[in-house]
Amino acid sequence: MSYHRMTLSKFLLEQRKMGLIDPGLGSLINDIESACKYVAAAVSKGKLASHEVSVGVNVQGEEQKPLDVIANEIFLKICEQGDQLQGMVSEEMETPYIIPPEHRRGKYLLIYDPLDGSSNLDVNLTVGSIFSVLRAPEGEEQLEEKHFLRPGREQVAAGFTLYGPSVMFILTLGNGVNGFTLDREVGIFTLTHPNMQISPSTKEFAINASNERFWEPPVRRYVEECIKGKTGPRGKDFNMRWIASMVAEVYRILIRGGLFMYPRDTKDLSKPGRLRLLYEANPMGFIVEQAGGLISTGRESILDVVPKSLHQRIAVILGSKEEVELLNRYHKDYDSGKQEEFESPLFATRSLFRNL
Ligand SMILES: O=P(O)(O)OC[C@H]1O[C@](O)(COP(=O)(O)O)[C@@H](O)[C@@H]1O
Ligand SMILES: [Mg+2]
Ligand SMILES: [Mg+2]
């Protein structure tokens, strides 16, 4: 039983008492928490939850799963009724949802990925929801798309959930990262992972290696050196993971360190990365930096990027500080011409996994 632990509601109350958040933000996090519990219940029903939902192709051109649509609706309905928002942006909606006047009393904007890693639903692996909270503009008559296009540094809260063997809620309000586990029998999130910290060094990295031939030289150099292990320049053996579910990858990094990247590649030059800036990279970046890690494109901190569009994609490198710093250095070396070996046409045709 979990009754001796601090609940998420009590945690938010304490934050309010200490003057770290205002009551509106506390209520909004409570609404998001409720939405996540409903999504968790739907996800755990699997195919049983999926009937009678019409799915299509979302604005990214990706096929929606029924649970993407169900989770999106749950967030919309619960967070609108909570009266703390002016508007919402979601992976599953092309344009912002402006809260109708009768509920538009709040001071915040919510940006979310209702279900992350949804390609894992069919195989019953961990998925989650990701959210980012911004302050709504003051004194604006009309809320518009441009009001959501703000750098990640301006987030006032961010978090994600895991719908896995246990349901978890990871939260930052800008003063550290705390993890809560759902006690399913009583329906309450309780604080199980206070003050989460990412270790600065690691021996684990995560990348979708099937894209190897499209990687830029600095990324190839990094991965090659990790694979060489003890016999290479890193002088230690590395392990590799790829879950194809960013929420699960970031959680693993919060627990035991690591490096995760979906870097810029040449697969589709119209897309500067796979992951989305507003509802994947920014909230995860806020969490990772609050836990002592780093997030970068390889060339700049993601949290400083000024978004140009709602569904903008971006290169993501995040996790243990020393590894992200190393990758930043490799990008710098390459851009300044110092990484000559990797510019040679010979290297471009070599496979990291064949010729070691
Ligand atoms: O299938 P790939 O190319 O390995 O991509 C995996 C990545 O795509 C994502 O699933 C994208 O998220 P969505 O499921 O919300 O579209 C990430 O969670 C994950 O890191
Ligand atoms: Mg996602
Ligand atoms: Mg999604």
One domain, residues 235 and 178: no
For residue 123, which ligand has an atom nearest its CA?
Answer: 1
Q: Are strands 259-262 and 204-206 parallel, antiparallel or unpaired?
A: parallel
What's the chain's length in residues?
356
Structural domain count of the chain: 2
Ligand 3 centre from 118 Cα, in Å?
Answer: 6
Ligand 2 centre from 130 Cα, in Å?
Answer: 8
One domain, residues 138 and 43: yes
**Predicted confidence (pLDDT) per residue in 99-115, tens digit:** 988 888 899 999 999 99
Report the SS3 class of residue 336.
coil
pTM for this predicted structure: 0.94
What are the φ and ψ backbone dihedral angles of 57, each rounded to 5 degrees? -110, 130
One domain, residues 175 and 239: no
ipTM score for this prediction: 0.97
Domain boundary among 138, 172, 193: 193
122 marked as binding residue: no
- In the structure, ligand 2 is a single-atom ion and the residues with CB under 5 Å from it are 113, 116
Measured between alpha carbons, how far is residue 217 from residues 129, 233, 268, 346, 348 in Å? 33, 16, 17, 12, 8
Does residue 354 sit within a domain? Answer: no
Burial 202-235 (b: 16+ CB within 10 A, else e): bbbbbbeeeebeebbbbbbbbbbbbbbeeeeebe
pLDDT band at 349 (very low <50, low <70, confident <90, very high): very low
Does residue 262 sit within a domain? Answer: yes
Does residue 353 sit within a domain? Answer: no
Does residue 38 sit within a domain? Answer: yes
Does residue 314 sit within a domain? Answer: yes
One domain, residues 29 and 133: yes
Domain of residue 217 covers 204-348
One domain, residues 173 and 102: yes
Q: What is the pLDDT of residue 354?
A: 42
Ligand 2 centre from 113 Cα, in Å?
Answer: 6
Provide the CATH number for the domain around residue 22. Answer: 3.30.540.10
DSSP state of 252: H
Q: What residue ranges line ligand 1, CB within 6 angstroms?
A: 62, 91, 113, 116-119, 208, 244-246, 262, 274
One domain, residues 311 and 167: no
Q: What is the pLDDT of residue 356?
A: 37
DSSP β-bridge partners for residue 91:
none
The mean of the pLDDT values for the chain is 92
One domain, residues 161 and 260: no
Q: How many whole angstroms separate alpha carbon 318 and alpha carbon 104?
A: 35
335 marked as binding residue: no
pLDDT beyond 80 at 10: yes
Provide the CATH number for the domain around residue 336. Answer: 3.40.190.80
Identify the residue whose C-alpha is closest to ligand 1 atom 6.
244
Does residue 355 sit within a domain? Answer: no
Q: Are strands 157-163 and 167-172 parallel, antiparallel or unpaired?
A: antiparallel
% of the chain with per-residue pLDDT over 90: 82
One domain, residues 163 and 17: yes
Does residue 309 sit within a domain? Answer: yes
One domain, residues 248 and 164: no
Q: What is the pLDDT of residue 178?
A: 98
31 marked as binding residue: no
Judge whether 134 and 155 are in contact, CB under 8 Å.
yes
Domain boundary among 147, 168, 193: 193
One domain, residues 244 and 276: yes
Q: Are strands 108-116 and 85-90 parallel, antiparallel or unpaired?
A: parallel
Does residue 199 sit within a domain? Answer: no
Measured between alpha carbons, how far is residue 307 from residues 36, 86, 91 in Å? 26, 19, 15
One domain, residues 263 and 149: no
Nearest CA to 37 out of 176, 186, 171, 149 is that of 186
124 marked as binding residue: no
Measured between alpha carbons, how far is residue 305 from residues 284, 316, 350 in Å? 14, 12, 33
**Predicted confidence (pLDDT) per residue in 184-213, tens digit:** 999 999 999 999 999 999 999 999 999 999
309's CB contacts (< 8 A; 6+ apart) are: 149
292 exposure class (CB count in 10 Å sphere: 0-12, 13-18, 19+): middle
One domain, residues 139 and 278: no
